C-alpha cells in the first residue's frame, strides 16, 4: 500500500502482504529481469514485476509510441510520450510510479543487444509478437543457459493467449516447438512473421487487448517467478481461450532431436569480452587456446550481410547488418529493396576477415564473443 509522507512528500511502499507469499521481496528483490517487448503485454508484465518490488528491470524494444498504444498501456499515459521510444517512455513513467524499481531502456532489437547484458540477467520475459523474435530469444537463452517465460496474444482479436516456460539449456526451447519446415524457413531467412495465436476477427464475444494482456501478463509473471524460484527445468506451455467458452489447458514440452540449438557435435562454446576496436581478428584468435588438432573459430550469433546491391540502379552497399535487418533496408538512390551478395557467420585464421579489426564487424559495445574449438583443416 502506498502512503504519502506528510513531512517530505516521498512515497513509501508497504510490501508486508507480498512478503507473506512465495514472492517475498527477499527472494525477488535483487533479481535482474529482462523484458523483451514493450507493447500492451510488456507494459503489464513490467507493472506487475514493479508492484512486487523487483529492483531492476531492463526493457528491450526498438519501436516508438503511437496513439493506439496508449489505449492498451497505462505507462504510456503517465507522461507525454507520443513518438518516444517505448522503452524510454516506460522508464520515465516507471520512475514516477515505482520508486523502488529501476527500469533501464534499450531502444533496439534483442538481436542487436550485447550478449553481456543477457549474461547478467537472472530471468527473461518475452512479450514479442513475431516468431523471428522468439527464435532469436530462444537461441540466445539456450546459448547462455538462461531460463525465460514467453507470453503471446492472438494477433487479430486477442481472444487467445499463450504462456510458455522454457527451462535450462537441455530443456525444450521455442525452436523445438516449431514444425520442421517452419524452423527451416526461419533459420534460413530469419524473416519476421506475425505470431501464431489467432482466430477469425468476427468470432462473437471477443475480449479486448487490455483484458487479455492483463490476464496473460499476470499468469506469465506468476509462472516465470514461481518456476525460477523452484528452479524448474521442465518446459511447459499454457493455452488460454477467452472466447465465450473460456478454457485453459497445460502440457509439458520435450526437446526436439532436430532442433539445432541443442546440437552438441562440437565442443562447448566459450565466451570472451569484446577486445579493443583496433585489435586484428586473426591475431586475437592466435592468442586463444588451441592444439595440434584443433583451432579456435569465431562464431557470429547471426549471419551478417557484408555486401549488398540494388538490382535497379546497381548501387553497391557494405551494410554489415543482420540478414533480417537488410530486408528492411532500401536503396538510398531509388528506394528499391536491397539484395544480399555476401554474408559472414564464422571467422578462422584462413578467412579474409582474419586481417580485419573488430571495429569492422560493428558488434554491440556490450557484447560477448563466442568461439569454439574445431578440427584443423575442417571444411
**Rounded-to-integer distance, Cα 174 and Cα 131, Å:** 9
The residue that leads in pLDDT, 19 or 184, is 19
Please, which residues have CB within 8 angstroms of residue 81's CB and are 6 or more apart in sequence? 65, 89, 92, 93
**Pair 229, 126 in one domain:** yes
Q: Do residue 300 and residue 241 come from a single domain?
A: no
Q: Which residue has the higher pLDDT, 262 or 179?
A: 179
- Per-residue pLDDT at 256: 86
Domain ranges, residue 216: 2-262
CA-to-CA dists, residue 350 to 100, 105, 278, 294, 347, angstroms: 52, 40, 19, 14, 8
- pLDDT band, residue 187 (cuts 50/70/90): confident
Beta carbons within 8 Å of 269's beta carbon, 6+ residues apart: 143, 299, 370, 371, 372
What was the pLDDT predicted at 195? Answer: 34
Give CA–CA dist 174/167, Å, rounded.
11
Co-location of 23 and 153 in the same domain? yes
Same domain, 180 and 51: yes
Q: Are 236 and 282 in a shared domain?
A: no
Count of the separate structural domains present in the chain = 2
Q: Mean pLDDT of all residues in the chain? A: 86
- Over residues 343-359, the pLDDT tens digits come to 899 999 999 999 999 99
Q: Which residue has the cell 518475452?
A: 126
Task: Give the residue from 262, 295, 323 where a domain finishes.
Answer: 262
pLDDT, average across residues 91-108: 95
Task: Please report which helix (H) or strand (E) contains residue 250, including its range.
Answer: strand 247-253
Q: Are residues 249 and 277 in the same domain?
A: no
Residue 86 grid coordinates:
517505448
Is residue 98 within 8 Å of residue 50, measured between CB atoms? yes
pLDDT of residue 119: 94
313 shares its domain with 334: yes
Q: CATH code at 201?
A: 3.40.50.720
Least confident of 115-119, 125-129, 260-264, 348-352: 260-264
Mean pLDDT over residues 154-168, rounded? Answer: 79
Based on the domain organization, do 211 and 299 belong to the same domain? Answer: no
Instruction: Calculate mean pLDDT across residues 120-142.
Output: 93
pLDDT band at 59 (very low <50, low <70, confident <90, very high): very high
* Confidence category of residue 266, pLDDT binned at 50, 70, 90: very low
Indicate if the pLDDT at residue 250 is higher than 80.
Answer: yes
What pLDDT digit, counting tens, does each position of 271-285 carry?
999 999 999 999 999
What's the alpha-carbon Rg for the chain, to the nearest Å? 22
The reported pLDDT for the residue numbered 7 is 40
Same structural domain, 371 and 229: no
Domain shared by 224 and 370, yes or no: no
C-alpha cell at 298: 569465431
Residues 258 and 312 in one domain: no
The per-residue pLDDT for 156 is 54
Please report, rounded to a whole number, the percentage of residues in the chain having pLDDT higher than 70: 88
Cα of 52 vs its chain's centroid, Å: 22
Q: What's the confidence (pLDDT) of residue 271? A: 93
- In the listed set 246, 262, 278, which residue is the last one of a domain according to the structure? 262
Amino acid at each position: 500500500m502506498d502512503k504519502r509522507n506528510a513531512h517530505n512528500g516521498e512515497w513509501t511502499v508497504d510490501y508486508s502482504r507480498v512478503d507473506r507469499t512465495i514472492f517475498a521481496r527477499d527472494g525477488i528483490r535483487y533479481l535482474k529481469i529482462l523484458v523483451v517487448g514493450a507493447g500492451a503485454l510488456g507494459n503489464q508484465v513490467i507493472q506487475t514485476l514493479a508492484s512486487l518490488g523487483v529492483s531492476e528491470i531492463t526493457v528491450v524494444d526498438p519501436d516508438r509510441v503511437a496513439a493506439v498504444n496508449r489505449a492498451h498501456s497505462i505507462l504510456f499515459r503517465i507522461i507525454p510520450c507520443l513518438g518516444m521510444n517505448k522503452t524510454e517512455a516506460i522508464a520515465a513513467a516507471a520512475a514516477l510510479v515505482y520508486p523502488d524499481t529501476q527500469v533501464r531502456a534499450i531502444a533496439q532489437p534483442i538481436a542487436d543487444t550485447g550478449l553481456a547484458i543477457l549474461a547478467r540477467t537472472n530471468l527473461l520475459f518475452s512479450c514479442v509478437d513475431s516468431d523471428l523474435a522468439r527464435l532469436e530469444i530462444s537461441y540466445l537463452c539456450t546459448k547462455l543457459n538462461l531460463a525465460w517465460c514467453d507470453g503471446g496474444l492472438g494477433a487479430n482479436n486477442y481472444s487467445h493467449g499463450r504462456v510458455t516456460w522454457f527451462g535450462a539449456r537441455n530443456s525444450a526451447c521455442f525452436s523445438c516447438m516449431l514444425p520442421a519446415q517452419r524452423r527451416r524457413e526461419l533459420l534460413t531467412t530469419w524473416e519476421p512473421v506475425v505470431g501464431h495465436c489467432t482466430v477469425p476477427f468476427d468470432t462473437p464475444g471477443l475480449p479486448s487487448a487490455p483484458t487479455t494482456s492483463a490476464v496473460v501478463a499476470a499468469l506469465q509473471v506468476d509462472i516465470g517467478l514461481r518456476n525460477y524460484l523452484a528452479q524448474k527445468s521442465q518446459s511447459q506451455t499454457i493455452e488460454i481461450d477467452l472466447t465465450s467458452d473460456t478454457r485453459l489447458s497445460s502440457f509439458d514440452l520435450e526437446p526436439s532431436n532436430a532442433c539445432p540449438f541443442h546440437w552438441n557435435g562440437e565442443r562447448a562454446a566459450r565466451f570472451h569480452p569484446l577486445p579493443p576496436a583496433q585489435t586484428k581478428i586473426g591475431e586475437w584468435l592466435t592468442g586463444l587456446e588451441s592444439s595440434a588438432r584443433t583451432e579456435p573459430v569465431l562464431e557470429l550469433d547471426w549471419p551478417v550481410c557484408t555486401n549488398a546491391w540494388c538490382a535497379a540502379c546497381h548501387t553497391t552497399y557494405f551494410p554489415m547488418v543482420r540478414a533480417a535487418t537488410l530486408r528492411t533496408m532500401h536503396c538510398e538512390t531509388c528506394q528499391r529493396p536491397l539484395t544480399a551478395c555476401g554474408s559472414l557467420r564464422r571467422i578462422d585464421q584462413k578467412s579474409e576477415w582474419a586481417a580485419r579489426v573488430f571495429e569492422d564487424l560493428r558488434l554491440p559495445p556490450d557484447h560477448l564473443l563466442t568461439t569454439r574449438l574445431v578440427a584443423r583443416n575442417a571444411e
